[in-house]
Structure 1
C-alpha cells in the first residue's frame, strides 16, 4: 500500500477537551507518524503520514474527534512524505 502524507486544521470546540492526546493515541494505534498542536486562534493543526488506509482512517476519526469535542470543520491537504519518526504532541 502507498505511503501518503496529510496536513491540516481542525476547527470547533477542539481545545481543552483532550483532542491532542486522543489524536496521538489514535495515530499511534494506526501506526502513523507526525504531530499535532494547538494554535492560538483555537484551531488544532495536524500533520501525519503512513499507509494510505491508516491515513484515511485517522482523517475520518478527525471529523468527530474524542467525546467532548465538536468538530465544525476539518481541512486536510496532501503533503510530501517526510519520514517522521513516531507521532508527537507539540506545544
Structure 2
C-alpha cells in the first residue's frame, strides 16, 4: 500500500486488505498530511471491508475537509453495499 501526495490530493495505490490495515493502523495518524483534501482511490487494486473501514477512519481523523474520489469498480461495489456515496466527490 502506497500513499503518494500530489498537491492537495493523495493517491492511494495497491491493496487495502485486513492484513494491510493491521500493518498501517499504528501509522494512521501520519499517513495523510494535514493539507490533503482528497484521497484518490483510482489506483487501489483491491479493498475489503476492513480496508473500507480504514478509509472511513482516515476521513474521521482528518483535521480539515477530506473526501474520497475515483473509486475503482471493485471499490464502487463496497461503497454501494455500505451506502457510503456521501463520502465521495463526483
Q: TM-score, normalised by structure 2?
A: 0.30
* Structure with the largest fraction of helix: 2
Q: TM-score, normalised by structure 1?
A: 0.30
* Structure with the largest fraction of strand: 1
